[in-house]
Structure 1
Amino acid sequence: MTPVDAASEPDEPGRASPPVLKNPIFRRLWLANFAGDMGNQVTTFALSITAVVFLNPSAFEVGLIAALSRSAYLFFGIPAGVWIDQWSRKWVLVGFASLQTIVVASVPVAFAFHNLTVIQLIIMAPLLSISSLFFDVAHTAVLPTLVGRDRVSEANARL
């Protein structure tokens, strides 16, 4: 048995599974997580900046957008895990990533048609927060099935 064959059998005592980055499914999740985290940070920052640069909002409105951008973690953080355990994790990942894409895409569309408002940004902020929360919880929940229980800590470290 070659070392590669032995490494692919994590259930045998004394044998290690391959590193998580050699798992193509984990690599896709890792890249999606990276893109999603970067997108979330940019979007959270961009909502407030877009409002200030293009819409002349009040200080309260800018503060409200910023607060609502993280509100889902406060209101849905604990029950999200319970709900995701009852749903298909793949569909949660795909569904909430799609929701995020649609919500973010609404900004340039509304701007192009001169319909972008502060109200739209205020509504977008919690929607983006909810989609980010559910995506994060679902991708954490799906991790053991992707990499195996013996590589969860390594996978979490990579993510």
Structure 2
Amino acid sequence: MADLPNNLQSPWRDWPLDREIVITRVIDAPRSLVYAAWADPDQIGRWFGPDGLAIETREIDLRPGGVWRFDMVGDDGTRYTNRMRFLRMEDAALIEVEHGSDEEDDPGTFRMLITFDEQSDGKTVLTLRQMHPSRARRDWAIGFGAVEYGGQTLAKLARHVASVNAR
């Protein structure tokens, strides 16, 4: 590709595809409602996380520079600490966060970009992109169940938004 002029080279050539996980879901609701489910501290803990895990919030400040510290708690009492640092929030368009355990210098912390694209039929295409620090860490996350758990999380989001939309 180096022999091609710049205007013909793929814009993907420098994108680290081997570090990325992408999960997409069409949600039958306007993007303003879907975005609000992510951006409203009263809503996010009600639906976030995979099936079988409850959310216990310890601190929540959903704005650029803010942090959400929470535990995912399994039926058997197992706790998974989490910290999301909100980097960017563009109303009804996108949210960018760093997500990892609630430990300083967590080597597994990854960047996550959530985009909300409203369709002409009023549905929203939500795309969740995770960018992991290395290919090995991405492979570990996939093996742990990141794709399946991400799909479960977005299904819970869709059910939550449907109940809000029905009111």
The higher relative CO (CA closer than 8 Å, separation ≥ 6) is in 1
Larger helix fraction of residues? 1
TM > 0.5: no
Larger strand fraction of residues? 2
Q: TM-score normalised to the size of structure 1?
A: 0.26
Q: Considering only CA atoms, is the larger Rg found in Structure 1 or Structure 2?
A: 1
